Structure 1
Amino acid sequence: MSSPQNETYGPTGVTGAAGATDPSGVTGTYEDVEPDAGHGHPDTYRPAYEARVSATELPTEPRLPRQQEEPGESEQGAEGAEGAPGSGGRAAARRAARHKRGTERPDPLRRLLPQALVVAFLAGGTSAFLANDKAIELSVDGKSRTLHTFADDVTELLADEGVEVGAHDVVAPAPGTALASGDEVAVHHGRPVHLTLDGQRRQVWTTAHTVDGALRQLGVRAEGAYLSASRSQRIGRQGLALDVRTERTVTIMADGRARTIRTNAASVREAVEEAGITLHGQDTTSVPPGSFPRDGQTITVMRVTRSKEVREEVIPFAVERILDPTLFKGTEVVERAGRPGARRVTYAVRTVNGVRQRPRWIKAEVVREPRVQRVKVGTKPRPRSVGDTDVDQLNWAGLARCESGGRKDAVDPSGVYGGLYQFDARTWHALGGSGRPQDASAAEQTYRAKKLYVLRGASPWPHCGARLRG
């Protein structure tokens, strides 16, 4: 029997004296076998992959003694031996206990198989773990860092790292691209720029970090241009407002002379001032002074003077017509002559570069009101002829006395009217008379007077016509 000092029981089985183990890390087991005839030492190691030994092949009594007995085992065995009838004493009790432990020893292969599976699983999992781990260099807005990740593509990597990407951001390589260890991923966030370029306002997006980089990225020619911010100013994620005025060529015509300048002025007025031209008073330009000057534009300075002009204008009088049944139809007698009125009108006069413009009405003031002219209009029917008895029965003698005192050669003090009925020369000739009325006979004068009455009634004699009926 082997010495107890050369073998011990391990946690999972029996280990050899030298602590021999399986190369895979699984501890081997010892069995009670016959010594090797060639070496004189027992073959105490049986690998786990060897075929399982049946229970019938195991010795009925273990040859390996215990390293140490359980406390109280000897006493309990002795008591049992002494108490059992027909017992063989203490030796028999110890043999029975060893036989029981031998029969309850687990199958070595069944005990080592789970451990081998665990080791194999751990070895395979470690290989898969190492295969999926990737070393990636991630750069966000120029800040780089190297990290290890299990992400399969760029989209998953950015999501794992909490990097949000918007519509105006640039990612290289593109989202969704598969990743391999050693790859580089760059993210450039877009920044809004409220750009006013030569007077035109718009919002653009850039991934540049400075004003100079944004101008290059947007293709803005900044040589000689005015910038509202320095080129080195950084652009944050919130963006900035930027006013850019490029250099332009502008021609200004003033006082008969042309001046061509290079300017980045913000308005026409500033460009005119840069050309050394001063606007006085009402002076202006051919385009609005506050408008933006364009490249190649020609601007004309207009020297303007303004003054006021007052004019007297006539207000025509109105005519009032009154129906008069005492006058024959077609006869009109002016009862009161009209008189025109007068008003004072003020105009603004504008002169541009010495050329007078059309006056502009400002106000009007009435100086004298016009007087209405009243005219009587006859409604009485006319007699059919001069021989009408109605005409012959009129009091012509009474009319003659009233007009001329009954003298056929009478002439009024003005020398215009003459004869019995005081004809003027134009009316006398219109009635068919010749010469002067005062030179004609009384009968002819009365005949012409009756014809006049037929045409105009008593209106030619406004003061004495009523005598005809008296």
Structure 2
Amino acid sequence: MSNSQYETYETTYAPQYGPPSYEPAYEVWQEASYSYQVAYEETLDGVPLAREPEPEHAYEPGPEPVVPAPGRAEMRRGGRGRKSTRVPERTVAGGGSGPDTMRRLVPQALVVAFLAGGTSAFVANDKAVQLIVDGKPRTLHTFADDVGELLADEGVDVGDHDIVAPASTTALASGDEVAVRYGRPVHLTLDGERRRVWTTARTVDGALRQLGVRAEGAHLSASRSSRIGRDGLALDVRTERTVTIMADGRERTIRTNAATVREAVAESGVTLRGQDTTSVHPDSFPRDGQTVTVMRITGTREVREEQIPFDVERTEDPTLFRGTEVVVHAGQAGVRRVTYTVRTVNGVKQRPKRVGSEVVREPQKRVIKVGTKQMPMSVAGADGLNWSSLAHCESGGRPGAVDPSGTYGGLYQFDTRTWQGLGGSGRPQDAPAAEQTFRAKKLYVQRGASPWPHCGSRL
């Protein structure tokens, strides 16, 4: 029921409403290579969106009723030969006539005149208009002064995304048409980019035209004829794009609406095998004008053995002279087996990539004893000799010197057996110079200069 004093009734005819010239929309899109500019339609369901303001309706009241003057029972002839009309006196109930009768008729005539004028004003304010809500027309009578009041009376709520034509402040006149189109949210994914937009179109095709989306050759997740309800719709659109595929020394340019680079490569007739891949991620979205290079990949495995360095452990030994180091355990490097993959991309060998390893042999640490005992410098019976001259003759004064045969070493060219017999450890050439001189003095006390047959005379 209408809020007006008259009933709302449906039309008994089906008017033809052609599609609007342009559809309204509420978003302006600026995408990578597409510009979606929205233009408001000139008409909405056949109703102009904007029009000149109409003048207010002026209703002239009808003629005042003519009331006979009291005390006159006839009209005299007057003017140019007009007939006079005699009105015979009537007898009223109760036997009265003449002036009493006229006094009774005057109030009744006034009441009739008042009712006639009020009915004229009532009829003048009543308007027959056509209201089209979301494409559904109905004709109704209303006393509303403007479009906004009409919509309020009819309980039509209009939101920020809805369209009303003409504007809500437009004055109403009988015969006007008012159109309301509700906005609908569309969760649009266009070429991989997601956006929430609003449209007043009732179909997918109308929404695409509103948004300026190029739909020729495009993939649509819903058919163009699909209806869009008040709750909206999720729509995925992939427009047709140009993509160039470089593979096996050939260039292929295709038009595609593929969702991934992998699909575009397959559409070009190129097959990815084994470890083959593309210059961009195969699951990424192919852009218009993009060039994708297919990389043919072959891979091999290589196993290499690598050494594991050993640790060195040093311990103090108070039985050894200071500066003396004795290797107790020489130590041994470990062995690790390492696996690498070697890729060849389009015929070019890449840097090996380590993918695994295992220890074949654990390393063994080196153990060294370090002497802390104070080295004695004096040996009775040998301190006054020229030991530096003997050392220069035997080894050139070099503590680590070794003869070509490897048998003799150190300043005084000890052999290892003699050196250890004098209390030395390890090899003589590894001992400090002071210890070598001390051992040489002890040898001289035992055997004289005979251990140095060529240079002994220098002492």
Gaps of 5+ in 1: 1-22, 32-40, 47-63, 68-101, 393-413, 418-423, 438-448
Match of 1:187, SS?
strand
TM-score, normalisation: structure 1: 0.61
Quickly say closer, same or farther: Cα 1:213–1:66, change in 2 above 3 A.
Answer: closer
Cα shift at 1:301: 1.0
Give the match for residue 455 of structure 1.
434
> What is the one-letter code of the residue matched to 1:353?
N
Match of 2:231, SS?
coil
> What is the one-letter code of the residue matched to 2:435?
R
Quickly say closer, same or farther: Cα 1:203–1:460, change in 2 above 3 A.
Answer: farther
Higher relative contact order (CA 8 A, sep 6+): 2
> What is the one-letter code of the residue matched to 2:247?
A
Match of 2:269, SS?
coil
Do 1:327 and 1:459's aligned partners in 2 also have CA atoms closer than 8 Å? no
Give the match for residue 316 of structure 1.
309
Quickly say closer, same or farther: Cα 1:27–1:370, change in 2 above 3 A.
Answer: same
Do 1:331 and 1:459's aligned partners in 2 also have CA atoms closer than 8 Å? no
Quickly say closer, same or farther: Cα 1:110–1:358, change in 2 above 3 A.
Answer: farther
Cα shift at 1:154: 0.4
Cα shift at 1:341: 1.5
Give the match for residue 241 of structure 2.
248
Q: Deviations over 1:138-186 (max 9, x none)?
A: 2223333332211111011112223222221111111122112222211
Do 1:192 and 1:239's aligned partners in 2 also have CA atoms closer than 8 Å? yes
Hey, what's the Cα distance between the residues in 2 that align with 1:127 and 1:390?
Answer: 159
Q: Give the percent of matched residue pairs that are identical in Structure 1 and Structure 2.
A: 67
Cα shift at 1:275: 0.3
Give the match for residue 134 of structure 2.
141
Q: Does 1:272 align with 2:269?
A: no
> What is the one-letter code of the residue matched to 1:270?
E
> What is the one-letter code of the residue matched to 2:380?
T
Do 1:313 and 1:345's aligned partners in 2 also have CA atoms closer than 8 Å? yes
Hey, what's the Cα distance between the residues in 2 that align with 1:362 and 1:356?
Answer: 17
Quickly say closer, same or farther: Cα 1:453–1:344, change in 2 above 3 A.
Answer: closer
The structure 1 residue matched to 2:337, chosen from 340, 344, 347, is 344
Gaps of 5+ in 2: 1-63, 73-85, 384-403, 416-427, 448-459
The structure 2 residue matched to 1:305, chosen from 271, 278, 298, is 298
Hey, what's the Cα distance between the residues in 1 that align with 2:93 and 2:331?
Answer: 164
Equivalent residues, number: 332
Cα shift at 1:228: 2.4
TM-score, normalisation: structure 2: 0.63
Hey, what's the Cα distance between the residues in 1 that align with 2:298 and 2:149?
Answer: 75
Quickly say closer, same or farther: Cα 1:114–1:139, change in 2 above 3 A.
Answer: same
Do 1:207 and 1:214's aligned partners in 2 also have CA atoms closer than 8 Å? yes
> What is the one-letter code of the residue matched to 1:184?
E
The structure 1 residue matched to 2:189, chosen from 186, 196, 202, is 196
The structure 1 residue matched to 2:226, chosen from 207, 228, 233, is 233
Instruction: Give 1:76-155 correspondences, 5 Å limit.
Output: 112=105, 114-155=107-148
The structure 2 residue matched to 1:325, chosen from 312, 318, 323, is 318
Cα shift at 1:296: 0.3
Do 2:67 and 2:109's aligned partners in 1 also have CA atoms closer than 8 Å? yes
> What is the one-letter code of the residue matched to 2:336?
R
Give the match for residue 407 of structure 1.
none
Quickly say closer, same or farther: Cα 1:454–1:44, change in 2 above 3 A.
Answer: closer
Do 2:324 and 2:432's aligned partners in 1 also have CA atoms closer than 8 Å? no
Quote the RMSD (CA, aligned, Å): 3.9
Larger radius of gyration: 1
> What is the one-letter code of the residue matched to 1:209?
R
Give the match for residue 424 of structure 2.
none
Which stretch of the first structure deviates more once superposed, 290-299 or 156-165? 156-165
Cα shift at 1:454: 6.2
Structure with more helix by fraction:
1
The structure 2 residue matched to 1:159, chosen from 152, 155, 169, is 152
Match of 2:114, SS?
helix
Quickly say closer, same or farther: Cα 1:25–1:341, change in 2 above 3 A.
Answer: same
Instruction: Give 1:416-431 correspondences, 5 Å limit.
Output: 416-417=406-407, 424=408, 426-427=409-410, 430-431=411-412
Quickly say closer, same or farther: Cα 1:211–1:336, change in 2 above 3 A.
Answer: closer
